[in-house]
Amino acid sequence: MVREPDIHICEVAARDGLQNLDVFVPTEAKCALIDAIAAAGVREIDAGSFVPPKVVPQFADVDVVMAHALSHQDKRIGALVPNFKGAERAIAAGVNSIYFVISASETHNRANVRRTVDEQVEAFRAVRAAIDARPAAERPQLMGAISTSFGCSLEGDISEAAVCNLARRFAEAGADEIGLADTVGYATPTLVRQIVSAVRCEVGPDVTLRLHLHDTLGAGLANAVAGLEAGIRRFDAAVSGLGGCPFAPGARGNIVTEDLVFMLERMGLSTGIDLDRLMQTREILARHIAAKHLTGHLHEAGIPKVLRRAA
């Protein structure tokens, strides 16, 4: 029997990692990236977003990429959706998870999905109803993702009350999981502990929480540790630190999956991920993406031999 890892990591490079690039990554490269991530032992992959190509051209091939990703039947394959139409496409594609995004920042929500927060909550309820109308075996998990949970480049500070209110509404509407996203990387360890604790109190102990962290100001891994201290055991991350939001000025990459895995394993926490194989994803990315977009301390320094022996 395979032991469950202590920490669950969802790899988001194929979606969040690519959405902000100014170059189209070929379909075959996206599929090769997903294959390499799966081969490294990652159990959940955010493989794309069902959005209009005119809004995010990078996902013009999402149907083909998603079909390929779903060939990895032992993995949980998910997709981000901004609205009910996107969710319909994701359900039809057969995804295992749907990540429905609403911003705690009203301004960012309008910029991101062209709707008010209230309108977006109603759309989420409609998605929940559409999923529940399907046979039980065909229902994808539905996560409510709260963007700008720790700050917004358009509004600045976001109140704890705004995040908790949206978390409560997600929970009441039937979210299987709630994700707290540091969309622009403004979080600090203190703020992470504060918001996670407040949301946990708001929604109760039975709702699963995860963190989606960016490293805009260099605090990404410190914030991950703060999340661990607050009880989080599920994290999003992107190989080579890819990522950013087209509708959040100044947003930079996600926390680096390779660095996160190394840190967690050195802390004695299992991830179930083969770090050496994960490091090989850099070769695929480097063929199509400028070096300035690829980050990661392990890629710069390597893994010291003495630490490999200690592991």
Q: What span, in angstroms and rounded, lies between the C-alpha atoms of 189 and 300?
A: 25
- Measuring CA to CA, which residue among 245, 242, 247, 234 is closest to residue 258? 242
Burial classification of residue 3, based on how many CB atoms lie within 10 Å of its CB (0-12 exposed, 13-18 middle, 19 or more buried): exposed
Q: What span, in angstroms and rounded, lies between the C-alpha atoms of 234 and 214?
A: 15
Residue 33 makes CB contacts below 8 A (sequence gap 6+) with 13, 14, 239, 281, 284, 285
Q: How far is CA 258 from CA 55, 174, 235, in A?
A: 30, 33, 13
The two structure tokens encoding residue 12: 């988001």
What letter represents residue 207's amino acid?
A: V
| Catalytic entry in 10, 152, 164, 245 | 245
The two structure tokens encoding residue 47: 């493989």
> Are 206 and 177 contacting, i.e. CB atoms less than 8 angstroms apart?
no
245 is known as an active-site residue:
yes
Backbone angles phi, psi at 77, to 5 degrees: -105, 125
The DSSP-derived string for 226-289 is HHHHTT--EEEEBGGG----TTSTT--PBPBHHHHHHHHHHTT------HHHHHTHHHHHHTTS
> Are 149 and 180 contacting, i.e. CB atoms less than 8 angstroms apart?
yes
Which residues belong to the active site?
245
